[in-house]
């Protein structure tokens, strides 16, 4: 087990190096000279010169790459080009609002869609099953933008049930007052794909031989679904959720943007609009590390829930 | 139909009357799987339901417990399955559930997938005890340990907390049996319970079921395709084909004086250990035919003067598994394997699963890269030569695989499949010549000309295996590796393909390496036999010598596990 | 392939005559199954209709005059009737020329809704919260002034002849009185083209990489897997946004490349797994045994047997990319500002909704939802037809 974790960590090194090269290629090579990029965005020539010196733009690419790697290893990505805020503090202050929305959203999505998936898989092939699946398909076809625009307009603006947007300083106020509508929208958008996916996981299990054995033992359909099938279907569901967590951080960017929630996703959009390269670079690298770590955690979790898996 | 079982044993435990089951195939298509089957299961006796694939034997068994998939199966409402004064057809779900696992229980073919992989065997055993007997967790666990002990699981106190994946296939089937007998059922339905197991394990499981049947005074409905197994355990036999009962009666009558032509064919198509006719009788000989044609015995064995085609010395193949931080572990699939293949002769290669026999075949064909040894083809080592050089030898050494459904490309017509090798190797001057040759070969393997334009999915397993054989023949090889080539086929088809292989060997003087786990088939077709276990050669000798006087204990154990069939079993008793 | 050779019937020149009935192949059978699937065929017809619409629009046969201001500003749909306040033919126009309004979107930042809401806050103070908590540098919407002007009814210029403007349009008009239906048709051109082309790029890359990687294994597989895990470590959206950030010029080709070059990983994983599976299948080993070359085994033997996966992936990705294009264009990272797409329509629509002008939102949403629903249902039908044993298992 320990050996497995060590080997996996060791295997992350080349992947990380690849991410570094990819990001470097994008921003230093494709992105080009910051003086050009920032023309019109920052008028202070001295600041631009300063940025160019920090990046070593005049020096060969390998020196620039080395500067970038040093930044990653020390965790010091410098400051934002547009607001001059330290990158470390940007990430630390943007993370809590994102999590305030995402953690409840993920938990609710999991509970609701797993429950629904078991229910529709139980009546598979029936009219209900088909109707739910059609609703899911149609629901999935409408852009998330439309959900946000319409929900914000109807529930916040017209009916006044929720604030239209904003963010406060108290955790509970943020969670209850400002996050409710974003979470509701997030759920509306995420349940359809989750339900479809989890339903196939459950159906895969329902057709297994051990379900026939359970029936031959005289177990009730309820027990078969909730104990035997769910326990097996939870294996792909858990690993799926684990592996998708880091991506969610970015995935909620539209919701954060519309509701002015100062989270990571909105920060990325802002940075892209301002060509604020250091912020994007730093977030990309951190999220990549998080993804790799969560993938490893997903595999370890897999081991924990599936006795067949041997991690060597 | 046969009502004599009833009169012999009083009121039967189960009476199946005019059972009809069909399946919806999508659209309006309906497939009738069981067409009016009637038979009895007397108390305290073992009834064997015998048939080839598509006979409807498993469907019949599943319908007793109402386990057919509800989405697409229809059991005719007039069918009756009487058990304890009740008709099980159309029984309310609740009543059926109370019966399942308590009065009637069932075990299946694949113990590995039939147990829930994420729960311990103890949990799964306790579940059924709690459900039907209302035992407390502590009492259920105690009883589960007793049950595991009874079915022969070593160290049951420790193994009760094991997951199914931590057990061998035989042990898994023992756990399934423990679960099935936990509530002292009156009837145990065993659906091909030993088909997925090695022959030595099969013997143990069969003995276990027989012992439990006697001890618990229950009835057993044993579903199988293997008549040899039936001969050892059954009191009554029901023979099915295409959804209909062909013959039924006491085992003695069915085996010694079969009335039905199909039953006669089934009994004789299968190669027997003490008997080796020139050609195996095939089903057509009985069904409207004039009975077996070739009764004279075939001589087997190698002579010192036989020319050696392929000389294999010290062949080895290792696989590596990652382990630890940087380490890897070597797994020797085959080690130090040496043998000679002689022109016009067959070397049978037998062993249980994991013995490395298939690895040897694939390595010789260079489908796996050998890690040690040489294979001399007329003095040249085919294992160490370059791919380009080996290309010329691919014409001379060919392979036929086990699964006829996987070995033909589903997107090619039979014509394309058969012309491709000639195209690659430049055999035949033009399209016309190649096509002519294909038609000639189709005739040789007994397929109609019209097959040329058909796709593999339109053929049965036996026909596909003929196509695979024809594909090898297009290259006119000298050595043919048959990797479990008849193992997936039904008994009656198996005989036809074995006869075809024998005819081709006689005609083209082919050397066969015949790999199989089926000891009776190997005995029939081989001149020499090599026994492998855990990657190593245990024994190599003339076929008759090795079966009559096995030297090694492993060989002796293996041979004694072969189901002997009715006559041998009665002779021993 | 051996196809050409196999199709030879025999002549009656002394050799045997064979009944020449070529059996239906798996593709024919799949097509028959698809044709029997009513939902699948209806979806296919709808998708085909959209594609036809796109082609006609691209050829300039329909919706060519989408940028003409044929109606009054915010002309309501005909079935509602002319708007009392601004629907009179004498109402002043807001913008002088069609290209002008679009250029303003370029500089628009963060939250276009904020200003509208801020403005409305005066009337409904209870509804809006104080903007607080670290939302630094909230940008100003340059459009707000224009919109305020429009609402106040004092246009900056009155260029177009007022008599030519209609009070209502079949499904309403936008801010400048352009026909929403024509815009929707024109917008489909961009959205569908981008969606399908980037799906082709992504699937082609994923299939090629996956085939090579899965087939050859060994160090080739290691190399591609490394490449895959690098791309897979960065969430897809972040990667798209990062590429959008560094690419300065915008255009249809750019966005196709962005989506295509970042979207191949899922296809790669699937195709690699398929090749790994098929490589071990006996029919491929048999092909090896008869001497078929690597390329022949890869493309002639295996590829036709995994091509249904490729087809279904293409369909799934096209749907995903149509949706992605809409979001990117909405954010202003997508197609250039003078090109209309469903995404830019939604962008305009969100401001209009506050004013109660819902028709542009509905038009773009319905068009997109219809296409994407039909596409998804068709994908499901396709999968069922190509792989009948999965029928009913994988959604509807």
Contact B450 C19 (CB under 8 A): yes
ipTM above 0.90, yes or no: no
Kindly list the distances between the CA atom of residue B222 and the CA atoms of B449, B495, C112, in Å, as whole numbers in the listed order: 41, 24, 75
A215 to B67: CB separation less than 8 angstroms, yes or no: yes
The yes-or-no verdict on residue B252 having pLDDT over 80 is yes
φ/ψ region of B52 (left if φ > 0, alpha if ψ in -120 to 50, else beta) reads beta
C30 touches C140 (CB < 8 A): no
Q: Is the distance from CB of A182 to CB of A260 less than 8 angstroms? A: no
pLDDT at B27 over 70: no
Out of C5, C24, C288, the one facing B423 most closely (by C-beta) is C5
Contact A30 C137 (CB under 8 A): no
Specify the range with the lowest mean pLDDT, choosing from A155-164, B555-564, C111-120.
C111-120
Smallest Cα–Cα separation from C364: which of C179, C188, C192? Answer: C188
Taking contacts as CB-CB distances below 8 angstroms, the residues of chain B near C16 are: 439, 449
Interface partners of chain B (CB pairs < 8 Å, 3 or more) are: A, C
Contact C241 A277 (CB under 8 A): no
Task: Map B173-197 to HEC letters.
Answer: HHHHHHHHHCCCCCEEEEECCCCCC
C88 interfacial to chain A (CB closer than 8 Å): no
| Cβ-Cβ contacts under 8 Å, C305 against chain B | 409-411
**Contacting residues of A for B97, CB less than 8 Å apart:** 218-220
Considering only the beta carbons, identify the residue of A257, A270, A284 that sits closest to C238: A284
What is the rounded average pLDDT for all residues in chain B? 87
The yes-or-no verdict on residue B20 having pLDDT over 90 is: yes
A169 and C117 in contact by Cβ < 8 A?
no
Alpha helix stretches (DSSP H) within B15-92? 57-64
pLDDT at C81: 66
Note whether A232 and B116 are within 8 A (CB).
yes
Q: Write the CB contacts of C170 (distance below 8 Å, at least 6 apart in sequence).
A: C77, C78, C179, C181
- Give the closest-approach CA distance of A170 to chain B in angstroms: 44
CB atoms closer than 10 angstroms to residue B223: 26
3-state secondary structure of B536: strand
CA distance to partner chain A, nearest, from residue B324 (Å): 5
Q: Give the position of tokens 């990309």.
A: A284
The answer on pLDDT for A189 being more than 80 is yes
Query: What is the DSSP secondary structure assignment for residue C297, as one 8-state letter?
Result: I
C242 part of contact set with chain A, CB < 8 Å:
yes
Question: Confidence band (pLDDT; 50, 70, 90) for A38?
Answer: low
Interface of B with A (CB under 8 A): 65, 67, 71, 97-102, 105-106, 108, 110, 113-119, 127-128, 131-132, 163, 165-166, 176, 179, 321-326
Q: Are the beta carbons of C6 and B416 separated by less than 8 Å?
A: yes
8 A C-beta contact, residue C128 and residue C120: yes
Neighbours of chain C (3+ CB pairs under 8 A): A, B
Q: What is the distance between the alpha carbons of residues C97 and C99, in angstroms, rounded to a whole number?
A: 6
Residue B416: is its pLDDT beyond 50? Answer: yes
Band (B264; pLDDT cuts 50, 70, 90): confident
Instruction: Please check the confidence at residue B291 and state whether its pLDDT lies above 80.
Output: no
Pairing label, strands B219-224, B187-191? parallel
Model confidence at B478, in pLDDT bands (50, 70, 90)? very high
DSSP secondary structure code for residue C163 in this structure: G
What's the pLDDT score for residue B569?
60
Q: For A200, which of C114, C326, C393 is closest by C-beta distance? A: C393
Q: CA of C214, closest CA in chain B: separation in Å?
A: 16
The pLDDT of residue B571 is 59
Q: Is residue B223 within 8 Å of residue B189, measured between CB atoms?
A: yes
Question: pLDDT (tens digit, 9 = 90+) per residue, B327-347?
Answer: 778 888 888 999 999 999 999
pLDDT for B200:
86
Distance from CA of C376 to the nearest CA of B (A): 22
How is residue B2 written in tokens?
């046969």
CA angle (A71 as vertex; A70, A73 as ends), nearest 5: 65
**How does DSSP classify residue C302?**
I
Pairing type for strands B80-83 and B73-75 reads unpaired
Q: Which of A11, A129, A216, A228 to mutate to test the interface with B (most CBs of B within 10 A)?
A: A216
Residue B226 pLDDT exceeds 50: yes
Distances (CA, A) of B93 to B49, B66, B106: 26, 9, 17
The pLDDT of residue A83 is: 77
Q: Is C218 on the interface with A (CB under 8 A)?
A: no
**Chain A interface test: which of C50, C241, C266 (most A C-beta within 10 Å):** C241
- What sign does the CA torsion over C101, C107, C111, C117 have? negative
Alpha-carbon gap, residue C359 to B509, rounded angstroms = 83
Identify how many contiguous H helices and E strands chain B contains and give both numbers. Answer: 23, 21
Angle at B252 between CA B247 and CA B255, to 5 degrees: 60
Tell me which residues of chain C have a pLDDT lower than 50. 1-16, 85-160, 162, 390-396
Question: Do the beta carbons of residue C21 and residue B413 sit within 8 Å?
Answer: no
Q: Tell me how far apart the alpha carbons of residues C358 and C369 are, in angstroms, rounded to a whole number.
A: 16
Residue A36 pLDDT class (50, 70, 90 cuts): low
Residues facing residue B349 across a β-bridge: B515, B530
Measured in angstroms, the CA of A67 and the nearest CA of chain C are apart by 19
Is B115's CB within 8 Å of A214's CB? no
Most confident of A274-283, B288-297, C103-112: A274-283
Give residue B456's Cα distance to chain centre. 22
Cβ contacts of residue B543 below 8 Å, gap of 6+?
A: B300, B301, B348, B522, B523, B526, B527, B528, B529
pLDDT at residue B570, as a whole number: 62
CA distance A135 to chain B (A): 23
How does A44-72 read in b/e, with b if 16+ C-beta sit within 10 Å? eeeebeebeeebbeeeeeeebbeebeebb
């Amino acid at each position: 087990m320990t050996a497995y974790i060590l080997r996996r960590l060791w295997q992350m090194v080349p992947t990380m190096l690849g991410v570094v090269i990819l990001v470097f290629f994008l921003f230093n090579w494709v992105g080009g000279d910051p003086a050009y990029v920032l023309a019109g965005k920052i008028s202070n020539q001295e600041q631009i010169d300063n940025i160019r010196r920090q990046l070593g733009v005049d020096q060969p690419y390998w020196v620039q790459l080395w500067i970038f790697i040093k930044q990653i290893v020390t965790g010091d990505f410098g400051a934002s080009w547009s607001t001059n805020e330290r990158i470390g503090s940007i990430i630390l202050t943007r993370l809590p609002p994102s999590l305030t929305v995402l953690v409840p959203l993920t938990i609710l999505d999991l509970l609701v869609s797993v429950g629904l998936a078991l229910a529709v898989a139980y009546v598979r092939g029936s009219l209900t099953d088909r109707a739910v699946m059609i609703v899911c398909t149609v629901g999935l076809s409408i852009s998330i933008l439309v959900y946000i625009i319409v929900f914000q307009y109807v529930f916040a603006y017209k009916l006044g049930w929720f604030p239209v947007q904003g963010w406060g300083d108290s955790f509970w106020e943020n969670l209850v007052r400002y996050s409710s509508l974003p979470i509701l929208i997030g759920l509306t958008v995420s349940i359809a794909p989750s339900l479809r996916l989890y339903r196939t996981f459950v159906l895969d299990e329902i057709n297994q031989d051990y379900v026939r054995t359970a029936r031959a033992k005289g177990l009730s359909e309820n027990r078969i679904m909730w104990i035997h099938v769910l326990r097996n279907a939870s294996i792909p569901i858990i690993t799926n959720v684990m592996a998708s967590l880091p991506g969610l951080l970015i995935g909620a960017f539209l919701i954060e943007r519309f509701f002015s929630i100062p989270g990571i996703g909105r920060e990325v959009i802002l940075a892209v609009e301002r060509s604020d390269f250091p912020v994007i670079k730093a977030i990309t690298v951190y999220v990549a590390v998080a993804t790799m770590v969560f993938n490893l955690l997903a595999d370890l979790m897999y081991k924990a829930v599936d006795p067949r898996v041997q991690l060597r | 139909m046969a009502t004599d079982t009833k009169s012999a044993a009083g009121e039967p435990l189960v009476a199946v009357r005019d059972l009809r089951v069909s399946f919806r195939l999508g659209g309006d298509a309906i497939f009738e799987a069981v067409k009016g089957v009637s038979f009895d299961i007397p108390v305290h006796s073992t009834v064997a339901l015998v048939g080839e694939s598509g006979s409807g034997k498993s469907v019949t068994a599943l319908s007793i417990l109402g386990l057919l998939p509800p989405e697409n199966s229809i059991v005719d409402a007039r069918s009756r399955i009487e058990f304890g004064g009740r008709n099980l057809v159309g029984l309310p779900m609740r009543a059926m559930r109370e019966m399942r696992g308590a009065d009637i229980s069932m075990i299946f073919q694949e113990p590995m997938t039939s147990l829930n992989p994420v729960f311990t065997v103890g949990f799964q055993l306790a579940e059924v005890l709690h459900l039907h007997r209302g035992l407390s967790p502590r009492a259920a666990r105690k009883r589960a340990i007793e049950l595991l002990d009874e079915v022969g699981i070593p160290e049951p106190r420790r193994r009760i907390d094991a997951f199914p994946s931590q057990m061998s296939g035989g042990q898994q089937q023992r756990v399934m049996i423990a679960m099935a007998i936990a509530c002292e059922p009156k009837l145990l339905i065993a659906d091909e319970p030993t088909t997925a197991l090695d022959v030595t394990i099969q013997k143990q499981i069969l003995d276990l079921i027989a012992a439990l049947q006697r001890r618990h005074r229950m009835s057993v409905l044993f579903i199988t395709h293997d008549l040899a197994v039936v001969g050892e355990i059954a009191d009554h036999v029901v023979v099915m084909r295409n959804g209909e009962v062909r013959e039924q009666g006491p085992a003695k009558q069915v085996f010694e004086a079969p009335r039905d032509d199909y039953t006669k064919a089934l009994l004789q198509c299968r190669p027997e250990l003490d008997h080796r006719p020139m050609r195996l009788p095939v089903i057509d000989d009985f069904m409207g035919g004039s009975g077996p044609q070739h009764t004279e015995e075939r001589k087997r064995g190698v002579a010192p003067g036989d020319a050696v085609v392929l000389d294999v010395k010290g062949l080895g193949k290792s696989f590596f598994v990652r382990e630890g931080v940087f380490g890897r572990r070597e797994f020797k699939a085959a080690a130090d394997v040496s043998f000679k293949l002689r022109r016009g002769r067959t070397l049978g290669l037998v062993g249980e699963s994991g013995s490395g026999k298939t690895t040897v075949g694939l390595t010789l064909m260079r489908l796996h890269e050998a890690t040690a040894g040489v294979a001399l083809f007329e003095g040249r080592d085919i294992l160490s030569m370059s791919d380009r050089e080996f290309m010329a030898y691919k014409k001379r050494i060919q392979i036929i695989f086990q699964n006829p459904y996987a070995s033909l490309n589903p997107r090619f017509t039979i014509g394309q499949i058969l012309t491709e090798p000639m195209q690659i190797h430049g055999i035949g001057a033009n399209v016309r010549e190649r096509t002519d040759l294909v038609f000639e070969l189709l005739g040789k393997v007994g397929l109609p000309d019209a097959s040329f334009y058909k796709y593999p999915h339109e053929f049965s397993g036996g026909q596909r295996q003929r196509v695979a054989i024809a594909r090898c023949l297009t290259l006119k090889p000298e050595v043919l590796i048959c990797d479990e080539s008849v193992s997936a086929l039904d008994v009656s088809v198996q005989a036809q393909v074995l006869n075809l292989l024998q005819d081709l060997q006689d005609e083209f003087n082919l050397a066969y390496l015949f790999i199989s786990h089926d000891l009776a088939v190997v005995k029939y077709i081989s001149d020499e036999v090599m026994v492998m276990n855990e990657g190593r050669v245990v024994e190599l000798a003339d076929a008759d010598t090795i079966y009559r006087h096995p030297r090694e204990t492993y060989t002796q154990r293996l041979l004694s596990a072969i189901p002997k069939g009715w006559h041998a079993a009665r002779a021993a008793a | 392939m051996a196809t050409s050779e196999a199709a030879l019937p025999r002549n009656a020149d002394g050799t045997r005559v064979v009944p020449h009935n070529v059996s239906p192949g798996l593709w024919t059978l799949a097509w028959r199954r698809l044709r029997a699937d009513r939902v699948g065929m209806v979806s296919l017809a709808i998708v085909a209709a959209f594609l036809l619409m796109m082609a006609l629009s691209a050829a300039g046969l329909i919706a060519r005059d989408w940028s003409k201001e044929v109606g009054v500003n915010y002309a309501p749909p005909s079935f509602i009737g002319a708007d009392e306040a601004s629907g009179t033919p004498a109402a002043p126009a807001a913008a002088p020329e069609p290209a002008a309004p679009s250029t303003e979107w370029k500089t628009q930042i963060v939250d276009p809704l904020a200003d509208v809401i801020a403005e409305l806050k005066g009337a409904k103070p209870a509804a809006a919260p104080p903007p607080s908590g670290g939302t630094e540098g909230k940008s100003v919407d340059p459009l707000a002034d224009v919109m305020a002007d429009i609402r106040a009814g004092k246009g900056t210029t009155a260029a177009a002849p007022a008599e030519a403007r209609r009070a209502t349009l079949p499904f309403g008009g936008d801010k400048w009185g352009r026909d929403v239906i024509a815009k929707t048709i024109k917008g489909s051109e961009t959205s569908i083209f981008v969606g399908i082309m980037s799906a082709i790029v992504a699937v082609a890359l994923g299939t090629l990489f996956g085939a090579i990687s899965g087939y050859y294994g060994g160090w080739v597989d290691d190399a591609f897997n490394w490449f895959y895990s690098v791309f897979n470590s960065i969430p897809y959206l972040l990667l798209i946004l990062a590429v959008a950030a560094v690419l300065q010029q915008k255009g249809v080709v750019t966005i196709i490349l962005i989506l295509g070059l970042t979207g191949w990983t899922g296809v790669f994983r699937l195709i690699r797994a398929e090749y790994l599976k098929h490589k071990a299948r006996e029919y491929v080993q048999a092909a090896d045994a008869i001497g078929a070359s690597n390329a022949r085994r890869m493309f002639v033997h295996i590829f036709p047997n995994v091509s249904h996966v490729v087809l279904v992936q293409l369909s799934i990705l096209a749907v995903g990319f149509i949706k992605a294009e809409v979001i990117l264009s909405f954010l202003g990272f997508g197609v250039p500002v003078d090109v209309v797409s469903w995404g830019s329509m939604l962008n305009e629509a969100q401001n209009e909704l506050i004013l109660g002008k819902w028709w542009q939102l509905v038009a773009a949403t319905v068009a997109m939802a219809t296409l994407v629903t039909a596409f998804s249902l068709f994908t499901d039908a396709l999968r069922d037809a190509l792989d009948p044993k999965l029928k009913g298992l994988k959604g509807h």
